[in-house]
Structure 1
Amino acid sequence: MPSPYVVETPGPTQNVLGKSGSTSVISVSGGKTYKDKGSLLLVTVNAQGIPGYPVTNLQVLASWFSRSADVIPREAVIPQGQTLDEYERQNKSQMSGSQSAAESQALAFLKKQGIDTSGYAIKMHVDNIGGPSAGMMYTLGAIDMLTPQNESGGKTIAGTGTMDSAGKVGAIGGIRLKMLGARRDGATWFLAPASNCDEVVGHIPSGLHVVKVSTIANAYSSLVAIGQGKGDTLPQCAVSQK
């Protein structure tokens, strides 16, 4: 029988400095680009129980006892009566907005560093990924590609967070599962929104180091510090005291 729950599990990751299929995730025209020896991973969550992806009660029951799954009431994830077409349009709209914010904030950041970005155009492409949570990693990827420094220092660094028009990194959903996906795919460092810290503490996979960030400038300086082997000096998540 169909279930009134949504089951979320760690989804695939994508190196924003690489390719999605045969297409570069981030393409730049009008400016010189540089290669980074490491990887910057955006992270995702797979969901069953959303429109077009049904989940059974038996699958939900099994997921209750899995450490790599979250079971959430459907109405907390999907508005009642939302169709598959409406769900997909919403996700595409959020992803498009995320990419636009990433482009503008990457260029704004570079201008503040004294880089002439006139004539630059940045385009982003990933198949089958929706929502706004990749905004920060898109922005970092674009900045990385347009600066000669090898920011990652050859490391695999993952992260998540929305990006707004003021350059602030916002909270996202499913961060526990996204950290699991990041570690599964080789990440040793993870950039997390400061506003998600309460959900991070106590759920960090073994071998993953999590750094909290709140702005794109903060995220970039953290990326550089990690690449230089100074990641242990960066602020980590702690549970807020209320």
Structure 2
Amino acid sequence: MRRPAHTLVIMRPHHTMQPDTRQPAVEPANKPDNDSLDMNLDMNTDAQPINAQPEAQPQRTGRVRRLKTRVTHYFATRSVRYLAGFFAVLLGAVILLLPSPYVIEMPGPTQDVLGKVSEGEVIAISGDGVTIHKDSGKLLLVTVSASGVPGYTITNAQAVWGWANPQVEVTPREAVVPVGQTADEYQQEVDNDMSGSQQSASEVGLAYAKQHADELGIDAATLDNAKVEMHVDEIGGPSAGMMYTLGLIDKLTPAEESGGNVIAGTGTIDAKGKVGAIGGIRLKMLGAKRDGATWFLAPESNCDEVVGHVPEGLRDVKVATLDEAYQALVAIGKGQGDTLPHCEA
């Protein structure tokens, strides 16, 4: 649509108005008519109304460009940061989920050797003339739950959790099991240790009962026909030997050795009745306290690990032989436990 001709005002230089004394100019014969002028005006696209403000387009364009640049830079840098953060988090998650070369150990379940399991009595004694006696107390064998051993792989996340937990110990796997040991080999080893522990406990316990039959109130002749079977629920290793032996003797004697107390303990037992050192005793004491024990029989050879780690409310008693362990059991049952020796620095 053509712009109306009367909106256009041609700007002239400003002068002071003087009376015009000049002769009227002769109008050129070829003066353009109005239609020609309108056509020329339409083609003049740069013309503006006299009242229009001078354009600030270059200035506005510069500001817009700067703003656009800043916005683009802001989001570009933010995108890089966020992307880097995302990949860092993703990488961390992947690392945490990878298999860990560590073993984590924590307090495991306890088991009353005077009690029962799904297969029957933990210590089942049979034979002609053999009399079994009950005890109102408990003798707890204690365990450590281990993960990260062959067949029970853990992740790095679990290892980190273990380092942050004061009731968990984290150890390089090679310090716990031989390098290259398979899951089947590991399971066979712990099963063999448990079987050996039970066998030693049966032999040593019966031998001790025969040797001290008169003072224990046992008919020694009946023990010649005694047969002992031991049952456990998914427990392996040799460290229950001493407690199995004490449980066997307790069940053969008419006396109630425990005096109704909950007494826990750990330690291997050899053919001569010597109580040997075991691993994880700090964690085992925590498990004993958790499950209600107030007394803990500890191998004398483990005293360096016992001192400073006995939970509040649990009293340790150091023992080096089966006889010391049995006499400690009797003393506790009689209320004389405070006279017993304990581990010292």
Report the TM-score when normalising by structure 1. 0.97
Deviations 1:83-135 (A, max 9, x none): 11000110111111100100011011111113412111111110210000000
- Matching residue of 2:178: 79
1:103 aligns with 2:209: no
Q: Which amino acid is the alignment partner of residue 86 of structure 1?
A: E
Q: CA deviation at 1:47?
A: 0.5
Q: How does 1:111-150 map to 2 (within 5 A)?
A: 111-114=210-213, 115=218, 116=220, 117-150=223-256
Taking the aligned partners of 1:173 and 1:100, their CA distance within structure 2 comes to 20
1:226 is aligned to 332
| In 1: Cα distance, 2:254 partner to 2:141 partner | 22
1:22 Cα deviation after fit: 4.4
Is residue 2:156 matched to residue 1:57?
A: yes
Corresponding residue for residue 42 of structure 1: 141
Q: Distance in 1 between matches of 2:176 and 2:248?
A: 31
Moved more, 110-119 or 179-188: 110-119
Match of 1:4 in 2: 101
Match of 2:297 among 185, 191, 196: 191
Contact 2:102–2:171 under 8 Å retained in 1? yes
Render the CA deviation track for 1:142-189: whole Å, top value 9, x for unaligned.
000000000000000000000101100000000000000000000000
Aligned length: 239
Paired AA for residue 322 in structure 2: I
Higher Cα Rg, which structure: 2
Match of 1:12, SS? coil
In 2: Cα distance, 1:83 partner to 1:99 partner: 25
Matched, 1:160 2:266: yes
Q: Percent identity?
A: 62
- Which of these residues, 277, 280, 300, is aligned with residue 171 of structure 1? 277
Bigger strand share: 1
Alignment-derived partner of residue 111 in structure 2: 14
Confirm whether residue 24 of structure 1 aligns to residue 130 of structure 2: no
Letter in 1 for 2:282: R
CA distance in 2, matches of 1:67, 1:147: 41
1-structure distance, mates of 2:187, 2:173: 16
Could you say which structure has the higher helix fraction?
Answer: 2
Superposition RMSD in Å: 0.8
Give runs of ≥4 in structure 1 deviating > 2 Å.
none
Taking the aligned partners of 2:281 and 2:323, their CA distance within structure 1 comes to 21
Structure 1 CA distance for aligned equivalents of residues 271 and 150 of structure 2: 30
Shift of 1:21: 2.0
Q: Give the match for residue 238 of structure 1.
A: 344
**More moved, 34-43 vs 58-67:** 58-67
3-state SS in 2 of match to 1:32 = coil
Q: Deviations over 1:44-77 (max 9, x none)?
A: 0001100111111111111112111001110010
Give the AA of the match of 1:155.
N
For 1:166 and 1:193, how far apart are their aligned partners in 2? 15
Aligned AA (1:161): G
Which residue identity lines up with residue 42 of structure 1 in the other structure? L
Q: Check 1:22–1:92 CA distance in 2 against 1; reply closer, same or farther (3 A cut).
A: closer
For structure 1, the 5+ residue unaligned runs are none
3-state SS in 1 of match to 2:110: strand
Equivalent-residue separation in structure 2 for 1:130 and 1:147 (angstroms): 27
